């Protein structure tokens, strides 16, 4: 019987885009620590870095901002297609449908281009916000070209100009979600592109992979825990009781990172900067500090640190993004990594064609092998 490994330990590609270093708790984007980028740079700057290999000069940044802002509007026929979809279609299904339909209209051909990457990156938040507001019977909010990528997404979702702290926190979350090596959705995108299919087909496949709960699964359980705890004074008794009953604290521990998850660390710094401005952030910090202390007491030596899901949940809850939008919002960050990988794959392309080991029965009388 063949051993099915899920490709663990197999090198699928060489990449200049990112390094995931679980041993040392480092995530590197093109030579920069992702945690520093998330705190110091804008979504547009880091997208430019991942696509082009270097951070932009001021004029390059302004031009990118302008290009993305001009590409935010959803073509009318895409709105019509979205409106025809049954209400039961998930937001990830809506994104796949819209991306597929956008690809056909553009008549995209080999090789994929940076312009296509920018176009998809710019329009995806508008599609999520459009569908969300339609589903909730709210008037559609047109994009605001003055706002940065993260702030404009919040604005289109809520119809209100977002607080700066909320835009900043979401900006950091999106940057830290942009890229994470040869994860399942990125690999899916590269495989599709390797057949000389187009950018939009590859992104559709990546969205399909991201939709699965083993990959883009939302940090619902952390939210449920924070909701149940509710206030700082309840944190210790609630978590002590959970640990005494053998339960796991959601948002802590990681299979690969046995030291600080660099993404959680960066989101913690951003969250700390926001405390005093929003009680949700304060509660998250308090729950984390208490959890780390209690985990050391109940599970000494297990090296349990805060994982990215904890702060993803805390931040998305604080900026009031509805839980059903968690995976689509993660996608709005990861689209940058996918498209960077798709462009990289095109530049070195060879079709992916792994082998399989046949473990089924052989024909009873197969004369050809005699
Ligand atoms: N709370 C309490 N105890 C824990 C936790 C936790 N969050 N995580 C691990 N432990 C304990 C286990 O009970 C076990 O204790 P024992 O030695 O007394 O039996 C020990 O630590 C080791 O646990 P494993 O399950 O072997 O650790 P593993 O590395 O396989 O698990 C996992 C990693 C699944 C993430 C785990 O830490 C967990 O269940 N965390 C909570 C769920 C969570 O936050 N998931 C999101 C992960 S982040 C991501 O996927 C992007």
Contacts of residue 209, Cβ cutoff 8 Å, sequence gap at least 6 = 184, 185, 187, 188, 189, 215
Token pair for residue 65? Answer: 């901002």
CB of 238 sitting under 6 A from ligand 1: no
CA gap 217, 240 in Å, rounded: 27
CA of 122 to the centre of ligand 1 (A): 37
Shortest-distance Cα residue to atom 20 of ligand 1: 302
CA of 144 to the centre of ligand 1 (A): 42
Reference 45, options 24, 67, 60, 28; nearest CA is 60
CA of 252 to the centre of ligand 1 (A): 7
Per-residue pLDDT at 79 exceeds 60:
yes
What band does 368 get if pLDDT is binned at 50, 70 and 90? low
Ligand 1 atom showing the smallest separation from residue 310 Cα = 44
CB of 253 sitting under 6 A from ligand 1: yes
Give start and end residues of each alpha helix (H) in the chain: 34-40, 43-52, 58-70, 76-84, 91-106, 114-135, 149-158, 164-177, 184-193, 199-211, 220-229, 232-244, 262-274, 279-298, 308-318, 326-347
Cis peptide before 220 (omega within 30 of 0): no
What band does 106 get if pLDDT is binned at 50, 70 and 90? low
Domain range annotation of the chain? 18-216+328-347, 220-318
Ligand 1 atom showing the smallest separation from residue 243 Cα = 2
pLDDT in tens, 226-247: 999 999 999 999 999 999 999 9
Q: What's the mean per-residue pLDDT of the chain? A: 92
Residue percentage of the chain with pLDDT more than 70 = 95
Is 1.10.580.10 the CATH classification of the domain at 18-216+328-347?
A: yes
State residue 365's pLDDT score: 72
CB of 309 sitting under 6 A from ligand 1: yes
| CATH fold match for the domains 18-216+328-347 and 220-318 | no
pLDDT in tens, 172-199: 999 999 999 999 999 999 999 999 999 9
Per-residue pLDDT at 257 exceeds 90:
no
Domain topology for 220-318: Cytochrome p450-Terp; domain 2 (1.10.230)
Per-residue pLDDT at 303 exceeds 90:
no
CA gap 15, 121 in Å, rounded: 21
Choosing from 173, 253, 261 the residue with most ligand 1 atoms within 8 A of its CB, the one to mutate for a pocket test is 253
CB of 215 sitting under 6 A from ligand 1: no
pLDDT in tens, 3-32: 777 888 889 999 999 999 988 889 999 999
């Amino acid at each position: 019987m063949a051993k099915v490994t899920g490709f663990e330990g197999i090198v699928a590609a060489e990449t200049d885009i990112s390094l995931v270093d679980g041993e040392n708790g480092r995530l590197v984007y093109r030579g920069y620590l992702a945690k520093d980028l998330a705190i110091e740079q804008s979504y547009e700057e880091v997208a430019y870095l991942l696509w082009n290999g270097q951070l932009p000069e001021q004029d390059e940044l302004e031009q990118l901002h302008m290009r993305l802002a001009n590409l935010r509007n959803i073509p009318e026929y895409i709105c019509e297609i979205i409106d025809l979809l049954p209400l039961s279609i998930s937001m990830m299904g809506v994104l796949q449908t819209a991306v597929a339909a956008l690809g056909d209209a553009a008549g995209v051909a080999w090789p994929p281009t940076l312009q296509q990457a920018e176009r998809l990156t710019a329009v995806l938040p508008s599609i999520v916000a459009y569908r969300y507001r339609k589903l909730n019977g709210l008037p559609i909010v047109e994009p605001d070209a003055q706002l940065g990528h993260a702030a404009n997404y919040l604005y289109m979702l809520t119809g209100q100009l977002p607080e700066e702290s909320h835009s900043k926190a979401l900006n950091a979350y999106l940057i830290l979600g942009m890229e994470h090596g040869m994860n399942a959705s990125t690999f899916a995108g590269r495989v599709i592109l390797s057949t000389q299919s187009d950018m939009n087909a590859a992104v559709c496949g990546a969205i399909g992979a991201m939709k699965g709960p083993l990959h883009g699964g939302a940090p619902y359980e952390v939210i449920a825990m924070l909701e149940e705890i509710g206030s700082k004074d309840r944190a210790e008794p609630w978590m002590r009781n959970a640990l005494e009953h053998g339960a796991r604290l959601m948002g802590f521990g990681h299979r690969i990172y046995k030291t600080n998850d660099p993404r959680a660390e960066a989101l913690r710094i951003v969250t700390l900067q926001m405390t005093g401005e929003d009680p949700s952030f304060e509660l998250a910090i308090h729950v984390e500090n208490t959890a780390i202390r209690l985990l050391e007491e109940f599970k000494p030596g297990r090296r349990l640190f805060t994982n990215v899901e904890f702060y993803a949940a805390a931040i998305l809850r604080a900026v009031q993004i509805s839980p059903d939008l968690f995976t689509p919002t993660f996608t709005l960050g990861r689209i940058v990594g996918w498209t960077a990988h798709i462009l990289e794959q095109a530049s070195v392309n060879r079709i992916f064609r792994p082998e399989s080991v046949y473990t089924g029965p052989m024909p009873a009388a197969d004369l050809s092998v005699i």
